[in-house]
Structures are given as structure tokens and as C-alpha cells.
Chain A
Amino acid sequence: MKPAKPLLTVDGMSVRFRMPGGRYVAAVSDVSLTLHPGECLVLVGESGCGKSVLASALLGLLPGNAETAGRALLAGDAPLDLLTASERTLARTVRGRRIGLVPQSPAAHLTPVRTVRSHLRETVRALTGVRGTALDPAVEAAAARAAFPTDHLDRHPHQLSGGLAQRAATALALVGDAPLLLADEPTTGLDRDLVERTADELRRHVDAGHALLMITHDLAAAARIADRVAVMYAGRVVETADAGPFFGTPGPRHPYARRLLDALPERAFTPIPGMPPELGALPEGCAFAPRCDRAEAACTRTVPALSAGVACHHPLEEVQPRAGAA
């Protein structure tokens, strides 16, 4: 029952970094995605595949040597292309207001010398304009929305456990009631109980109508929360699928996605041979071909286009029994 109109439409987006000596590093290549309200899209991939660059591009937080191409349309009362919007527009109307960021390592995201209450007061004042005696109730309501306990509001970040720091950061992201939430590795370094709790809480905000783009290498968290999955490898989206079939049967169709799931300890626990390529020195053709057991001559010549949800010259079509599947 998806609404017809997507909230975020990324269309042919590329990001490359200009390096000394005229070299380029292609961090994101020709990525297209759509995200609807009330939907959670999880972008998975190994570290260094360009996931976080994509998130920075959507927030206009790329460094000065970055060049972008394509479009990233944010729907709403004032539709906007995030890649060409001015810094002034992004700062005044987008960040925190139309896109909320749930950061990686929340404890490092918070200012160490200020309490959680002080963080929330500033954010509530800046984003909602609430002042004076209405401020304290608004701060407590903001904390409650992310299930942050009120009796911990006067603590400093170092006095919080990882889970509470995560909730504090989520509370800050939710203050502006942004329709789109962007979560960049929100579960890194948390233990498994906390990963599940964090995923469930983010899911609650999706069910309340937010659209969530979550970026992670944690496949267990992804399986718990996702409606749809996009797999990224060497800067390209190589597979997009509904979460159910992807994590269950028939499973991923791209050989990389399948090998990635098979590396999980609850499955075959077999690593993918080799390491991901450097983004500054991508091989000709399919970037996964050097590590792929299905690769043929064609794979090393042309980059496969994404069609019917998979970018591969030899995708897995039929259901294959997986060794050690749980």
C-alpha cells in the first residue's frame, strides 16, 4: 500500500572526488533509488563501498573537491534537488527540518561538555521556535519521543551508555519532525541486544510515517528493519530487492549479495575471497568480477546495467540450496 508519490527520488547520482595530480576517485556511480513515506530502505555493503558518501551528498555535506552528477529530488510543498540546492537553502530549510540525521557513533556526535538537556534545548529552539516557559515541556516531549529517560537529561555524553547516547541522538534527529530520516551506521559497536532495540525503535518511527534510509554493514540489523534492500559494491548499486525474498527465499540474485549473506556466522560463515577494489582504481567491467566464481570474459569488459533489480551478466535465477543455511 505504498503511496504513489515517492518522498525521495535519486536519479543517476554520481559523486567523484578530484585528487591531486588530476586523478579522480569515483565514490558513487550512477545510483538510482526511490523511497516512499512509511518505508525503510536499507543500503548495505562492505566498508569503503561509497555508502556514507551517498548520505553526505544528500545532506550537502561533501568536501570541496567533490563533483556530483544526476539528481536527488526531495518531494514536499517545495520540491527540491538536493544536489544543486544552495548551502543557504540546505542549512535553513533542509537539515533537521526535512531530513533528520541519526549519526554514526552517537557518543562522538554529541558535544562532550554539554548535557543532553542543553543539546535538546538548543535544537528545539532552533527548529521549532519554542521559547520561554514552553521550552522545558517541549524538551521533555522530544526526549520521550525517542524513549530517552527524563531523569538522564542532565547527564553529559560520557555518563551515558551506548544505547542511551543512541537515543539522545535519535531524539535530536526527530525534533524537527523531518519526513525523511537518514541513519548512517546507527548500530556500529553496539551489542546485539542493543542493535535489535535500536532497529526496533527506528522501525517504530517508520511505522509512524517517516521514510527511513538506513546505511549499514550490519546485515542482522538490516534484516530486522528493512522493507527494501539496496546492495552497494564499489560505488554502484548492484541489487535492489524486497527484504523478505532477499533475506529469505529465494535469496539474493547478485553473486556478491549472495556471498555477503553466506559470510554470516548463522549461514555458511565463508568469506568472499579477496578484498573490495580501491575506488580510485576500479577494474574494467564489473567491479566484482575478480572475486566472482561466475565471472566470464564478458564480465571483465563491460559494466552490467541494473535491470530488473540486479546488475550482473550472470545473475542467480533459480533457487539454490545454501550450505549451512540456518
Chain B
Amino acid sequence: MLELRDITAGYEPGRPVLRDVSLTVGDGEAVGLLGPSGCGKSTLARVAALLHRPTAGTVLLDGEPAHGWRHRAPRGQRTAVGVVFQQPRQSADPRLTLHDVIAEPLRATGRRAEAPARVAGLAATTGLTDDLLTRRPHQVSDGQLQRACLARALALRPRLLICDEMTAMLDASTTAALVGVLEAYRAETGAAVLAVSHDPVLLNRWCDRVVRWDDITRGTTASDRPHPL
């Protein structure tokens, strides 16, 4: 489903935050990527989601190499991947109701007519009530907003889901609920999952296979990393 070959990426010229990283996620497979804060795993997740252009290396989705990133990515590739970020507050438009947050991908791809039925279905799956759907992000809790962000990621029925620390801000019960929703979607559709986290207990419980950051990277030097504390 997803193949990352020798990816090097960073934000400033000459200062890569990750070097020569390779990772494969098979069809229908849930892979956990485990690494400490600041190791570059979120950057890798952004590369895999076609949100950040690597300086070197190849990203293959279903064997097809990616050439465009962000808005330049072809729609077929862009909509095949759903992303859930760590901070729901920073990834939802504060002006939209939760209903519109979830419907946004449908609207953006010209499928607005499907929105009412699809949003209702997703809200039921993720446990959001009709009352919550009419509210804006500042009127709901982090856990409720993250439920909406997961529903948004599922709206276009992606074949790959990338979860970057999806549950780091959440309590135990909401964590278990969201992972349960994702796993039900995976069982139903055969989608693949790349779950990035620093929590080995969570990843071992959730994923088919857990890879450690140090095992997939060559050449990252200690000086590239932030203070170990």
C-alpha cells in the first residue's frame, strides 16, 4: 500500500531532520512506528501523507510513485490517504461546526450531495450526537473534537490511514474508543494503517507489526537530535 524508500526530509536546506528512512506498509496492515519525541517521526508521517516534500527518496502509493505534494498531489493519491493529527484544536477550522468539519473533504472534492448521509453515518460510528455536530470546536472537549477529526479522515473512505500521535492528548477511555473505531473500519474495508506514537504499550496492543525508529533509519547523527531530556 505504502512504500517509503530512502527518504531524507527537513525544513531548512542542509539540515535534514531525518535521513535515508525506509518503511513499508502492506495492504490491510496496521504498522506502528515507535520513536521518542523529536526524532522526526511526525515529519515522516507528513511525507507519507503527501503533505511535505522530501529532499530525497521515493514515496510509492500502491506502487505508483508520488510526484506532487500538498495541493499538487493528484487527487487520486491525495484522497487515498486519511490523516489524523495529535492536536485536534490545531487541525480543525474554528469557524466550522463539527458537521462541516467532517463534511469538508466531501465538499472539497465536489461530493457535497453525499454529505448529509455520510456525516450522519460517521457521527454514529465515532459516537458524536446530533447536538455535538451543531457546535464549533471551542464548545467541545479535546476528545470530542478528535472524534470529529477521525470522522473527517474517514469521510472519503481512504485506503491508508496515517495517525500521528492520535491519542496522545486523550484519556484512556477515549483512546480505546477511537482505536476501536479505526480497527472496525480496517476490518470492514481492508484499509492499511500507519500509527505513529511514543507509546509502546499502545502500539503493541493495536498494530500487527511495530517498528522502532532506530531500525528504519540510517545516518541520523546524534547532533541532529534535540537534547535527550
Contact = CB atoms under 8 A, between A and B. Distances in A.
A260 B227 CA distance: 34
Given A163-B229, A266-B205, A269-B179, A192 B171 contact: no
A292 interface: no
A264 B205 CA distance: 10
A266 B200 CA distance: 10
Given A47-B142, A192-B198, A272 B173 contact: yes
B37 A161 contact: yes
Given A161-B38, A161-B229, A265-B206, A192 B172 contact: no
A46 B37 CA distance: 24
A223 to B, nearest CB: 12
A230 to B, nearest CB: 16
B217 interface: no
A274 B173 CA distance: 10
Contact of B174 (A46, A162, A269): A46
Interface in B128-166: 141-144
Interface string A292-311: 00000000000000000000
A6 interface: no
A189 B173 contact: no
B227 to A, nearest CB: 5
A269 B144 contact: no
Contacts of B171: 45-47, 217, 260, 263
Interface in B165-198: 168-177, 179-180, 198
Most chain A CB inside 10 Å of its own CB: which residue of B171, B173, B175, B200: B173
Contact of B226 (A161, A219, A270): A161
B200 to A, nearest CB: 7
Interface of A is mostly: loop
Contacts of B142: 47
B68 interface: no
Given A263-B173, A271-B180, A190 B37 contact: yes
Interface residues of B, number: 33
B200 A192 contact: yes
Give the size range of A's interface with the partner.
20 to 34
Contacts of A194: 37, 229
Contacts of B200: 192
Contacts, number: 85
Contacts of B127: 274-275
Given A161-B226, A163-B229, A219 B37 contact: no
Most chain A CB inside 10 Å of its own CB: which residue of B86, B201, B229: B229
Given A191-B36, A217-B171, A274-B127, A164 B141 contact: no
A275 B127 CA distance: 8
A269 B37 contact: no
Contacts of A270: 176
Given A164-B227, A189-B168, A189-B169, A265 B198 contact: no
Interface string A234-263: 000000000000000000000000011101
A263 B176 contact: yes
A269 B176 contact: yes
A89 interface: no
Contacts of B144: 275
A193 interface: yes
8 contacts: A48-B141, A163-B227, A189-B86, A189-B168, A189-B169, A192-B201, A265-B175, A270-B176
Interface of B: 36-38, 86, 127, 141-144, 168-177, 179-180, 198-202, 204-206, 226-229
Given A219-B172, A265-B202, A269-B179, 7 more contacts: A161-B229, A163-B227, A191-B199, A193-B198, A263-B172, A271-B173, A271-B180
